[in-house]
């Protein structure tokens, strides 16, 4: 008799991410090495708790991860829905990306749980994002930031990027 693969429930999750943008047109990205699979770069941020306002969630995440006590998330500039596997779990995550104007600072991951998967924090020049040979998430990060610099936050937002495998 053929073995039937175990079906794992998909965990629905909402998240918010910061596009930390300096006056010198640099963006902070965090290199993640997941428990399985290839490394990739993401923007700081994380999960939105039930009943939590997304901007408040982003402030909380930036404080926990990077020690940023004073920052003001701007408008949403990008929406993304993707599914992925993380540490044996299947997640379906809806994310919003917000511009956060900021002065460059010495970035360090302060959250011990997150730090287990972080291999590097790096300020990227916006012009270098489109040429990056490394895996950046979201895929359209260069277009998102360059579009914001050229036109500000769009209203209405561009269509949500959907990546479901």
Q: Are strands 26-32 and 118-125 parallel, antiparallel or unpaired?
A: antiparallel
Helix, strand, coil distribution of the chain in percent, nearest 5? 20, 35, 45
pTM value surpassing 0.95: no
Q: How far apart are CA 107 and CA 93, in angstroms?
A: 26
| Paired residues of 7 in beta bridges | none
Question: How far does the chain reach from its first CA to its final CA, in angstroms?
Answer: 28
Which is higher by pLDDT, 12 or 163? 12
**How far is residue 4's CA from residue 141's CA, in Å, rounded to a whole number?**
39
Span 111-119, mean pLDDT?
92
What percentage of residues in the chain have a pLDDT greater than 70?
A: 93
Nearest partner of 54 among 22, 86, 13, judged by Cα: 13
On the question of pLDDT at 87 being above 60, the answer is yes
Q: What is the pLDDT of residue 137?
A: 86
State what percent of residues in the chain have pLDDT above 90: 64
User: Where exactly are the structural domains of the chain?
Assistant: 10-163
Average pLDDT, the chain: 89
Q: What confidence tier does 5 reach under pLDDT thresholds 50, 70, 90? A: low
pLDDT tens-place string over residues 29-56: 999 998 888 899 999 999 999 999 999 9
For 10-163, CATH number out of 3.30.420.40, 3.30.420.10, 3.90.79.10, 3.40.50.300 equals 3.90.79.10
């Amino acid at each position: 008799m053929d073995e039937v693969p175990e079906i794992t429930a998909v965990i629905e999750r909402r998240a918010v991410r910061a596009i930390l943008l300096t006056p010198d047109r640099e963006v902070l990205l965090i290199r993640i090495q997941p428990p399985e699979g290839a490394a990739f770069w993401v923007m700081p941020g994380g999960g939105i708790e039930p009943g939590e306002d997304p901007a408040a969630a982003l402030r909380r995440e930036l404080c926990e991860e990077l020690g940023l006590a004073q920052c003001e998330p701007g408008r949403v500039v990008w929406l993304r829905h993707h599914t992925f596997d993380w540490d044996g779990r299947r997640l379906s995550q809806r994310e919003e990306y917000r511009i956060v104007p900021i002065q460059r600072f010495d970035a360090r991951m302060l959250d011990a749980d997150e730090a287990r998967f972080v291999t590097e924090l790096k300020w990227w020049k916006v012009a270098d994002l489109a040429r990056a040979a490394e895996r950046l998430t979201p895929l359209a990060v260069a277009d998102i930031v360059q579009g914001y610099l050229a036109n500000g936050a769009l209203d209405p937002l561009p269509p949500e990027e959907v990546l479901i495998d």
